[in-house]
Chains A and B, each alone.
Chain A
Amino acid sequence: DSGVTQTPKHLITATGQRVTLRCSPRSGDLSVYWYQQSLDQGLQFLIQYYNGEERAKGNILERFSAQQFPDLHSELNLSSLELGDSALYFCASRERGSDTQYFGPGTRLTVL
């Protein structure tokens, strides 16, 4: 158990819909990272937050957005969903004073 929690574990929805994925970092960690793992793309960095502020963006679509709340949990919002958005979405938190990231169990999103 990495200490990073993600909910829900599975999500099945239809094209055009909007979903919210939730992540709670390890106790004491301020940084949250979101990654997407699709079958043909491997693990791709989406976005990073540090203590409530967006710090870095990767290959994140405009239909996707995220935020980090004062209690440090983060939410990834995916809208106007397409079939190609079906993937595993992972959240990670970075250990303070270190470059090591610890990953949550992931949310499997299936868009039908």
Chain B
Amino acid sequence: DQQVKQNSPSLSVQEGRISILNCDYTNSMFDYFLWYKKYPAEGPTFLISISSIKDKNEDGRFTVFLNKSAKHLSLHIVPSQPGDSAVYFCAANTNAGGTSYGKLTFGQGTILTVHP
């Protein structure tokens, strides 16, 4: 049972345009969400996060939107740059009751390609 899903395996965008990466989740106990960027043979790099008490968080070119009722989050990258080309993972966390102690559940990833 995949609790975090990234339904688009890949996304291709022109440089300067907006990239929108989507993520859906099923577990209503998730209360913290993160986006990571990953290059081949490297560890995931933290990009941005959002708590379930917010619906938007912004950091430079990156904005994450959370729609709790739809159990959906998205990452917007504006403007997109060729250096943004990588695999993007969304991840979810729950500390409700403290039983999971913060383990992350990851989506399968979306390959973003930004063309010059």
A-B interface contact total, Cβ < 8 Å: 65
Closest A residue by C-beta to B4:
A42
A-chain residues with CB within 8 Å of residue B34 when the two chains form the complex:
99-101
Closest A residue by C-beta to B108:
A42
Are A102 and B102 in touch, CB under 8 angstroms? Answer: no
Q: Mark B98-114, 1 if CB is under 8 A from A, else 0.
A: 01111111111100000
Q: Does B43 have its Cβ within 8 Å of any Cβ on chain A?
A: yes
C-alpha spacing A106/B42, complex, angstroms = 7
Closest A residue by C-beta to B33:
A99
CB contact list, A21-48 vs B, under 8 A: 31, 33, 35, 42-45, 48
B-chain residues with CB within 8 Å of residue A92 when the two chains form the complex:
104
Are B103 and A58 in touch, CB under 8 angstroms? Answer: yes
Closest A residue by C-beta to B43:
A103
Interface size on A, residues (CB 8 A): 28
CB contact list, A4-27 vs B, under 8 A: 4, 6
Given A100-B34, A103-B43, A105-B42, the answer on whether A42 and B100 have CB atoms closer than 8 Å is no
Please give the residue numbers on chain B whose beta carbons come within 8 Å of chain A beta carbons, in ascending order.
Answer: 32, 34, 36, 41-46, 49, 89, 91, 93, 95, 99-109
| 12 CB-based A-B contacts, threshold 8 Å | A48-B103, A55-B101, A56-B101, A56-B103, A90-B43, A99-B32, A99-B95, A100-B46, A101-B104, A103-B43, A106-B41, A108-B41
- If A45-B103, A56-B100 are given as contacts, then 16 extra A-B residue pairs at C-beta distance below 8 Å, sorted by A number, are A33-B102, A33-B103, A42-B108, A42-B109, A43-B89, A90-B43, A90-B44, A92-B104, A99-B32, A99-B95, A101-B102, A103-B45, A105-B43, A106-B41, A106-B42, A106-B43
